[in-house]
Amino acid sequence: NAGVMQNPRHLVRRRGQEARLRCSPMKGHSHVYWYRQLPEEGLKFMVYLQKENIIDESGMPKERFSAEFPKEGPSILRIQQVVRGDSAAYFCASSPGGARETQYFGPGTRLLVL
């Protein structure tokens, strides 16, 4: 059973470009969480999705950030017009259910904005 997959593992963007981060959950998992880790910090929750639904986006910046988890295909975290402050590691986690289930993390995507 493959684990949570994230790609790309490393992404370099110039200010003003768009970044698309992909997350394929573990087989059988229909719940996806995105977290951001700034240097020397713990992970901060961004958004929680189920298939075709955003359940909780309370941690997501109001502008430039969006997330989706379509019926088919991976979950996508999209950052438009990136700025240097967006440089961070972005982790995706999946679980088979909601709050009562353990979340399993992917390897993360390291975004560097030049």
Partner 1 sequence: AQTVTQSQPEMSVQEAETVTLSCTYDTSENNYYLFWYKQPPSRQMILVIRQEAYKQQNATENRFSVNFQKAAKSFSLKISDSQLGDTAMYFCASSLYGGSQGNLIFGKGTKLSVKP
Q: Which residues bind partner 1 (CB under 8 A)?
A: 31, 33, 35, 41-45, 48, 55-56, 59, 89, 91, 93, 95, 98-105, 107-108, 110
Give 54 or 76: the residue with its C-beta nearer to partner 1.
54
* In 2-58, alpha helices (H): none
For residues 94 and 33, is the Cβ–Cβ distance under 8 A?
yes
For residues 87 and 18, is the Cβ–Cβ distance under 8 A?
no
For residues 106 and 5, is the Cβ–Cβ distance under 8 A?
yes
CB of 22 to partner 1, least distance (A): 17
Give 18 or 56: the residue with its C-beta nearer to partner 1.
56
Give 66 or 103: the residue with its C-beta nearer to partner 1.
103
